[in-house]
Structures are given as structure tokens and as C-alpha cells.
């Protein structure tokens, strides 16, 4: 019976890993006009944020309520949260190990990147 499920488990695992590695698309220029400096920051940030996209979405907008959207949040608040996860002041089974390897420069880049992205639109009910 285990032999039957093994290919399915391998295929599902591979699809999850591949989706996490997708390059995050740049924000559309039609809706936001960025300076050259901001465009460079977005490019660098999107490269560093690839592992973040698996939970928080490629544009910082999460598709699952379990993970917060980061787009449009305050850079200061984001940086403080990442430092707290990294330094152990804040604990989470997923975020703590992710943040542990971040340098101060990584944190500042990621915080600025997500702060520049357009915030999610409120859901219409």
C-alpha cells in the first residue's frame, strides 16, 4: 500500500518546493511609479524574498489567513519583527528558523522591499 502513495507524495512535495522557488514578479508599473532607486531596491528585495514568498506570497500578499500579508506594512515594524524572530524575543515554529540566518542588512532590505509593495486591497463582502 505504501508503494502506491509514494509517487503521489513525491509529486506533491516537488510541486510545493518548485512553487516556492518561482521568481516573484515585479509590481506592475501601471499602478505604481517607482524611482530608479526604488526599482533597484525592489529587484534586490525580490531576490532575497524568494523563500518568504512561499508563505507570504510573491507580492507580499498572503493567500492564506494563517500567514500575514507583508506588503505595504511599515518598514520599521517589519524590521523589528524579523529581528525579534532572529534573536529569539519572538518565537514561531516557521519564522524563527527562517529569520535565524538573516543579517541586519538582509532585514533592512526585506523590510524596505515589503514596505514599498502596494498593500492588499480590502476584501469586499
- Per-residue pLDDT tens over the stretch 10-42: 544 444 444 444 444 444 444 578 999 999 999
The pLDDT of residue 22 is 46
Q: pLDDT tens-digit profile of 39-87?
A: 999 999 999 999 999 999 999 999 999 999 999 999 999 999 999 999 9
Q: Residue 55 half-sphere exposure, CB side, CA atoms within 13 Å?
A: 10
109 neighbors 48 (Cβ within 8 angstroms): yes
The domain ranges of the chain are 34-116
Instruction: Output the pLDDT for position 125.
Output: 62
CATH architecture of 34-116: Orthogonal Bundle (1.10)
Note every long-range contact of 13-22, with CB atoms under 8 Å and residues 24 or more positions apart, other chains counting: 16/54, 19/54, 20/50, 20/51, 20/53, 20/54, 21/50, 22/53, 22/58
Under DSSP, the state recorded for 60 is: S
For the CA atoms of 20, 63, 121, 93, the dihedral, rounded to the nearest 10 degrees, stands at -80
The grid cell for 85 is 524572530
CB atoms within 10 A of CB 62: 17
Amino acid at each position: 500500500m505504501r508503494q502506491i502513495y509514494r509517487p503521489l507524495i513525491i509529486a506533491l512535495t516537488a510541486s510545493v518546493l518548485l512553487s516556492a522557488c518561482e521568481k516573484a514578479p515585479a509590481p506592475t508599473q501601471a499602478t505604481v511609479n517607482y524611482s530608479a532607486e526604488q526599482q533597484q531596491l525592489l529587484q534586490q528585495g525580490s531576490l532575497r524574498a524568494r523563500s518568504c514568498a512561499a508563505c507570504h506570497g510573491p507580492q507580499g500578499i498572503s493567500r492564506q489567513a494563517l500567514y500575514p500579508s507583508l506588503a505595504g506594512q511599515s518598514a520599521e515594524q517589519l524590521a523589528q519583527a524579523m529581528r525579534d524572530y532572529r534573536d529569539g524575543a519572538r518565537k514561531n515554529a516557521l519564522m524563527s528558523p527562517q529569520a535565524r540566518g538573516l543579517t541586519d542588512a538582509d532585514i533592512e532590505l526585506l523590510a524596505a522591499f515589503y514596505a514599498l509593495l502596494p498593500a492588499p486591497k480590502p476584501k469586499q463582502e
